């Protein structure tokens, strides 16, 4: 991926209010749990002090799923990537309150983070829960999950690693199924959409979608 592709962002920075507690968390806890964006490949052993497998959640929102999954898998490490400041603040509070030693946060565009900081063939799994749907025709180019970003995800996975996407936007899910299908290194172990992974916690956006009668679809691809 070249730098030009980073110019079409998959997000617009939400101006959502940052609470005092979230601001405090950003001020006090960033130095402990955030990794600054750098054009330098990360050394996971140095970051976590162990060689446990790494999962990355892209666009974690308020971080509920990230911290819940990390808490129930202390033998694995998690990196959450999010650009929404209030969400990063909330996640830092959760990490501190839950005393999670296995989570780090990068508050930056995931496309740039993967390209510049994540080693190839190093990641056990990517979680992408309820990515911004960008439903209008003229906005679809902003969708995060699309080819060739699917190639980037695959290149960062270890052999046998997975990408797991969940969304209530039917059009996006059908689109993503085709886009993942263009990436030769990924295979779909299911004939189409995947069954729900029982370990996945319900996210804020999922609750909202369910309350509106939305249908949740799941996509699960594995690196060959
Ligand atoms: C619809 S929200 C879903 C949040 C959360 N996953 C959930 O289910 O509650 C999508 C999130 O992805 C984030 N996002 C979108 N593109 C991103 C990118 N390129 N890098 C980092 N975060 C991104 C947005 O800021 C937003 O918080």
Q: Which residues does a 6 A CB cutoff place in the pocket of ligand 1?
A: 10-11, 58-61, 81-84, 87, 109-111, 129-132, 144, 203-206
pLDDT at 13: 87
Q: Residue 81 is encoded by which pair of tokens?
A: 């990537």
Q: pLDDT tens track of the chain, all 224 residues?
A: 444 556 799 999 887 789 999 999 999 999 999 999 999 999 999 999 999 999 999 999 999 999 999 999 999 999 999 999 999 999 999 999 999 999 999 999 999 999 999 999 999 999 999 999 999 999 999 999 999 999 999 999 999 999 999 999 999 999 999 999 999 999 999 989 999 999 999 988 899 999 999 999 999 999 99
Q: Which domains does the chain have, with CATH numbers?
A: 24-223 (3.40.50.150)
Catalytic pick among 121, 132, 168, 171: 132
* DSSP-assigned beta bridge partners for residue 16: none
Q: Where are the beta strands (DSSP E) in 43-88?
A: 54-58, 77-81
| Helical H segments across the chain, by residue range | 20-33, 44-48, 64-72, 85-97, 110-117, 149-156, 170-181, 204-211
224/208 Cα distance (integer angstroms): 35
pLDDT at 1: 46
Beta strand 103-106 with 77-81 is parallel
Q: Where are the beta strands (DSSP E) in the chain?
A: 54-58, 77-81, 103-106, 123-129, 157-167, 186-187, 217-223
Q: Record the pTM.
A: 0.96
> If you measure from the C-alpha of residue 21 to the centroid of ligand 1, how many angstroms do you get, rounded to a whole number?
21
pLDDT at 163: 98
Ligand 1 pocket, mutate which of 16, 67, 132 (most atoms under 8 A from CB)? 132
pLDDT at 134: 96
The answer to whether the CB of 90 falls within 8 A of the CB of 63 is yes
Q: Which of 53, 49, 78, 87 is nearest to 161 (CA)?
A: 53
pLDDT at 47: 98
- Mark whether 132 is an active-site residue: yes
For residue 218, the Cα-to-chain-centroid distance in whole angstroms is: 14
pLDDT at 3: 45
* DSSP-assigned beta bridge partners for residue 218: 166
User: Which strands form 103-106's sheet, in the order they lie side by side?
Assistant: 103-106, 77-81, 54-58, 123-129, 157-167, 217-223, 186-187
The answer to whether the CB of 124 falls within 8 A of the CB of 161 is yes
Q: Residue 211 is encoded by which pair of tokens?
A: 């309350």
The answer to whether the CB of 55 falls within 8 A of the CB of 125 is yes
pLDDT at 135: 93
> If you measure from the C-alpha of residue 97 to the centroid of ligand 1, how many angstroms do you get, rounded to a whole number?
22
pLDDT at 176: 98
């Amino acid at each position: 991926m070249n730098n030009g592709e980073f110019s079409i962002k998959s997000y617009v920075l939400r101006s959502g209010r940052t609470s005092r507690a979230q601001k405090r968390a950003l001020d006090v806890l960033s130095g402990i749990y955030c990794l600054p964006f750098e054009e330098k490949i990360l050394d996971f052993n140095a970051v976590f002090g162990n060689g446990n497998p790494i999962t990355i959640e892209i666009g974690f929102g308020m971080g509920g799923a990230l911290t819940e999954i990390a808490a129930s898998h202390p033998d694995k490490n998690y990196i959450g990537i999010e650009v929404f400041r209030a969400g990063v603040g909330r996640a830092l509070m959760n990490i501190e309150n839950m005393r999670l030693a296995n989570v780090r946060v990068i508050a930056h565009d995931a496309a740039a983070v993967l390209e510049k900081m994540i080693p190839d063939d190093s990641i056990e799994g990517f979680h992408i829960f309820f990515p911004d749907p960008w439903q209008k025709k003229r906005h679809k180019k902003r969708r995060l999950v699309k080819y060739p970003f699917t190639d980037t995800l695959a290149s960062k996975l270890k052999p046998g690693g997975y990408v797991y996407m969940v969304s209530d936007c039917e059009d996006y899910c059908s689109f993503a199924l085709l886009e993942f299908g263009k990436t030769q290194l990924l295979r779909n172990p299911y004939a189409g959409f995947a069954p729900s992974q029982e370990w996945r916690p319900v996210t804020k956006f999922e609750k909202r979608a369910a309350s509106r009668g939305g249908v949740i679809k799941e996509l699960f691809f594995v690196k060959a």
